[in-house]
Amino acid sequence: MRAMVFEAVGKPLAIRQWTTPVPNQGEVLVQVEACAVCRTDLHILHGELTKPKLPLILGHEVVGRVVQFGEKTGKFSVGEQVGIPWLGWTCGSCDYCRSGKENLCERALFTGYTRDGGYAEYIAADERFCVRIPAGNNAVETAPLLCAGLIGYRSLVRTGNASHLGVYGFGAAAHIVTQVAVYEGRSVYAFTRPGDEKTQQFAKTLGACWAGGSDGHPPRELDAAIIFAPAGTLIPIALQAIRKGGIVVCGGIHMSDIPSFPYELLWGERTLCSIANLTRKDADEFMAIAPKVPVRTTIQTFPLDEANEALGRLEKGTLQGAAVLVVSAPTH
């Protein structure tokens, strides 16, 4: 099969002829239709996430069709469309797993990081962690839901019943979570890079009641804020924007260092927390609510061998919505 392979920090992905994986016990082999590009992929490429398996096939927002089974499987049928998210395997026996916090499992394996991912024509995945895709969904439009959507949803749930919600960093996750928040009757305040009027207007078309630069102030106090941008400097800014008793949720897996700030910004029972990974429960809940909204993803597509171009566009901030690799696999 063809695959875009990450071989070393500082090197671009290389197109390779790679051995098609054979599904082990409990796994399914999936023919990849589409794989969205995530900022986490950039963090891996740049060495900011320090323990990838190498060589590695990136990609953890995968949609494809089941073509082969390992032993002791039975959740899916041949040809069924599935999604493969970031959380790829957990031990099932540790305190975290047994208490419903499998996202914190110390032995967890992650798609496109410690397991090969979807920047390829085929992927083998643990069937327990594959997500059933609702019938009729378009693979390319659905792919961003598998991380941007799931992490955004988990972040949104953490804000409780916040009515006035700030969203910092208006990329793939933010453009999805805004639609869900508006559907739930919340008011969304979108913060973009200063001067990025195009993205601010985009946020308003998705239902945001206000949009401005992250260096500005919203027109009222916020109940909560979600930070998707990997910039620690946004934390004291978001704390300044929320009311007493509010919460700031950091939705990314990596963030630059947080600058010191006066205790007064945290005082008043304000809360600062992170979101780590996701659970299968998150996936089931989000896939049930997404069609009701309905969530519409704004995407820019790239062929598999242009993965480096897609990553570069993401890093430069020149994408609107999400980048998606369209993968054309041969018939298995």
pLDDT, tens digit, for every residue of 208-239? 999 999 999 999 999 999 999 999 999 999 99
* Intervals of CATH 3.90.180.10 along the chain: 2-146+277-326
Say whether pLDDT at 174 is over 50. Answer: yes
Say whether pLDDT at 329 is over 70. Answer: no
Side chain identity at residue 49, one-letter code: L
Smallest CA-to-CA distance from 151 within 49, 227, 41 is with 227
pLDDT of residue 330: 45
Tokens (6 digits) for 135: 């019938």
pLDDT, tens digit, for every residue of 44-71? 999 999 999 999 999 999 999 999 999 9
d(CA 237, CA 235): 5
Just give the CATH number of 150-274. 3.40.50.720
The mean pLDDT value of the chain amounts to: 96
Instruction: Give the confidence band of 332 by pLDDT, cuts at 50, 70, 90.
Output: very low
* Intervals of CATH 3.40.50.720 along the chain: 150-274
Side chain identity at residue 233, one-letter code: T
Instruction: Give the confidence band of 189 by pLDDT, cuts at 50, 70, 90.
Output: very high
Instruction: Give the confidence band of 81 by pLDDT, cuts at 50, 70, 90.
Output: very high
Place of tokens 């910092």: 168
Say whether pLDDT at 168 is over 90. Answer: yes
pLDDT, tens digit, for every residue of 258-274? 999 999 999 999 999 99
Give mean pLDDT, residues 174-180: 97
pLDDT of residue 136: 87
pTM for the model: 0.92
* C-alpha separations of 288 from 83, 188, 275, 296 in Å: 14, 22, 21, 14
Q: What CATH class does 2-146+277-326 carry?
A: alpha beta
